[in-house]
Amino acid sequence: MAPWHGLLLGFLLLLAPGSFGDSLQLVKTLTVPPEAAVQSAALSPKGDFVAAACRDGRVRLWAFPSGELRQAFDLKDQRISGVWFSSDGTLLAAGGNRGAVRIWNIPPGKLRNELNVGAAVIALAFSPDRNLLAVAPAGVPAQLWDLEIGKFMTTLPPKFAGSAAVAFSPDGKWLASADEDTVIRIYEAQTGALRASSEDFLLETFAIAFSGDSKYLYAGGADKTISAVDVASGKVARTFPKQSFVVGALRLSRDGKFLAAVYFDDKGFSNPAPVLVWDVASQSVRTTVEPGVTTNGGGFLPDGRLLVTSSAEGKLQVWAVR
Amino acid sequence: MAWNRAALTRREILEKCIALGSVSVVSSFPVAAVLDAFGQMEARYRRPTPPNEIGPFYKKRAPETTMLRAPGDPGMPLSVSGQVFNTRGVALSNAVVEVWQTDHLGHYDLDGYRYRAKLPVDHSSAYKFDSVMPGHYPDRVCQHVHYLATAPGHKPLVTQLYFATDPVFEGDPDRNFARDPLIHSRELVRPVMLIGDPKEIQAAVKFELVLELL
């Protein structure tokens, strides 16, 4: 799997220790064995759990904010390439470097589904009703699965290569894929039938997020710009001001007013790059988290707070963005 | 008596199959001519070029040009050439080859089209381009050039070209090619010819592309 895939799986930001000033506040430190370095993490939508993909091949699940380690899962003998929660937080999925996907009920952590998509899992999304699963394996078309009966439904093929990101609309009607042929495609979620294509992008999109009303898809990638794509037509309706860094991840607040964007430096993923919180209505930057520590996951809580996670030796830290 | 594989030629095996009825020839041409054609078709077979990841920085609508470097560009001049075939050995003169790479310092141009091109393929399916040896991208191990080759009726080929001179291989790509975890096939590491006089030395590489039929 390409190193950049690993970076795009989660929420990545690079910050030099001590230089983040007032923008971040440490709220919790979760400990892991030294050999189990956290590669990426996911925050449950309600903020009651944190899951981490660890280098020792285990997924660790903590209750948050108590920090109590609840469970550790594995993907048999595969390395974990990412972890994802369903939008209601009741399911947790982990994908492996050779295509294994396992899904657990949270709580109590009971295995619900197990499938294989044939290649390293790059991106994954649950439909809002949790009946459908979209998975992007590395370099090949994304797949749509029916989780109720545990069956593969169809592929979502680009002209070539695979997909970097997949997302279901909040109303459950649409499934979007950001494809490596630079096209963003919108499918009918229930059937996988192609409904619109956005051919306006010259470079690849790495991150997508639907607006709360399911009418727009926010997209960011190698063009260093966030675009709002009209879902019905596939046309770019508006663009946010271009930055000097590539967009690696996007998270929309519950009320749809704020969009958190994680950037990275295309001249070296380990170079410092910021996180910006955009005001969607005015397309202006509301908060800038200056480069400081390396973080790898996060999201908005129902109360509007934005949390991000970062790993260091033997620990996963959870920060609140002020 | 043990059957000796080496004792029968491919043609003799086919003739035996015809004699035993497991292969039948339905043609107005003599059996010998059909077998000749069969043999030629098998001999033309080419193994498909191993695919390799597309990476994050493909940019569509690259300009049609064979000259990727500008006058005075720093870095070792590089010339790459090859032909495009399918697995049946048919030269694909209607193929389109796109390449993209970093500059000699390992930087991709995302804002423009430096070191990106759509290459014309001539009537004999040959392509070539002039560039500079790419630098080491900070998040990759080896120097590389990205390829996307397409032709009607064929699977798009996404792959990468690597160089046997890459210092990472320490002169022994047979042993060391896997030092870059993205290189799954030794075949993608190509020998480099150094040509020209010492004042204007240039690296030259041949890289044949073989596409699979749909």
- List, for residues B25-35, the tens digit of each pLDDT value: 888 888 888 88
**Cross-chain residue pair A3–B139, CB shorter than 8 Å:** yes
- List, for residues A233-249, the tens digit of each pLDDT value: 999 999 999 999 999 99
Across chain A, what does the average pLDDT equal? 91
Residue A19, pLDDT above cutoff 70:
no
Kindly report the backbone phi and psi dihedral angles of residue B178, in degrees, each rounded to the nearest multiple of 5, phi listed first: -80, 5
Strand B157-163 relative to strand B189-190, pairing: parallel
Q: Enumerate the H helices of B79-205 as residue ranges.
A: 173-176
Report pLDDT for A11: 45
Identify residue B36 by its one-letter amino acid code: D
Report pLDDT for A18: 39
Which homologous superfamily does the CATH classification assign to the domain defined by B77-211? Aromatic compound dioxygenase (2.60.130.10)
Average pLDDT over residues A176-190: 98
Q: How many residues does chain B have?
A: 214
Domain ranges of chain A: 3-321
Count of helices and strands (H, E) across chain B: 3, 10
- List, for residues A98-111, the tens digit of each pLDDT value: 999 999 999 889 99
Q: At A293, is the pLDDT very low, low, confident or very high (cuts 50, 70, 90)? A: low
Report pLDDT for B6: 59
Average pLDDT over residues A267-273: 84
Residue A171, pLDDT above cutoff 60:
yes
Q: State yes or no: ipTM above 0.85.
A: yes
User: B39 to each of A116, A203, B91, how far by Cα in Å?
Assistant: 41, 45, 18
Nearest partner of A114 among A89, A135, A138, A87, judged by Cα: A135
Buried b (16+ CB within 10 A) or exposed e, A139-170: bbbbbbbebeeeeebeebbbebbbbbbbbbbb
Residue A297, pLDDT above cutoff 70:
yes
Give the DSSP H/E element, type plus range, for residue B210: strand B209-211
Nearest Cβ partner for B58 among A204, A267, A270 = A204
Sequence-distant (≥ 6) Cβ neighbours of residue A238 within 8 angstroms: A227, A228, A283
Helix/strand/coil (H, E, C) string of chain A?
CCHHHHHHHCCCEECCCCCCCCCEEEEEEEECCHHHCEEEEEECCCCCEEEEEECCCEEEEEECCCCCEEEEEECCCCCEEEEEECCCCCEEEEEECCCEEEEEECCCCEEEEEEECCCCEEEEEECCCCCEEEEEECCCCEEEEECCCCEEEEEECCCCCCEEEEEECCCCCEEEEEECCCCEEEEECCCCCEEEEECCCCECEEEEEECCCCCEEEEEECCCCEEEEECCCCCEEEECCCCCCEEEEEEECCCCCEEEEEEECCCCCCCCECEEEEECCCCEEEEEECCCCCEEEEEECCCCCEEEEEEECCEEEEEEEC
Nearest CA distance, A304 vs chain B (angstrom)? 32
Average pLDDT over residues A40-54: 96
10-residue averages of pLDDT along chain B (214 residues): 63 86 86 84 90 97 98 96 96 97 97 97 97 93 97 98 97 97 96 91 97 97
Residue A207, pLDDT above cutoff 90:
yes
Q: At A1, is the pLDDT very low, low, confident or very high (cuts 50, 70, 90)? A: very low
Nearest Cβ partner for B139 among A4, A180, A204 = A4
Give the DSSP H/E element, type plus range, for residue B65: none
Q: Are B23 and B38 in contact (CB under 8 A)?
A: no
Residue A12, pLDDT above cutoff 50:
no
Q: What is the rounded CA–CA span in Å between residue A80 and residue A121? A: 9
Q: Are B183 and B189 in contact (CB under 8 A)?
A: yes
B-chain residues near A268 (CB < 8 A): 138-139
Residues 129-148 of B with CB under 8 A from A: 138-140, 148
Q: What is the pTM of this model?
A: 0.90
Residue of A nearest to B59 (CA): A203
CATH class of A3-321: mainly beta
Q: What is the rounded CA–CA span in Å between residue B147 and residue B161? A: 7
Report pLDDT for B4: 54
**Cross-chain residue pair B148–A160, CB shorter than 8 Å:** yes
**Cross-chain residue pair A203–B148, CB shorter than 8 Å:** no
- List, for residues A61-99, the tens digit of each pLDDT value: 999 999 999 999 999 899 999 999 999 999 999 999 999
Domain ranges of chain B: 5-44, 77-211
Report pLDDT for A17: 41
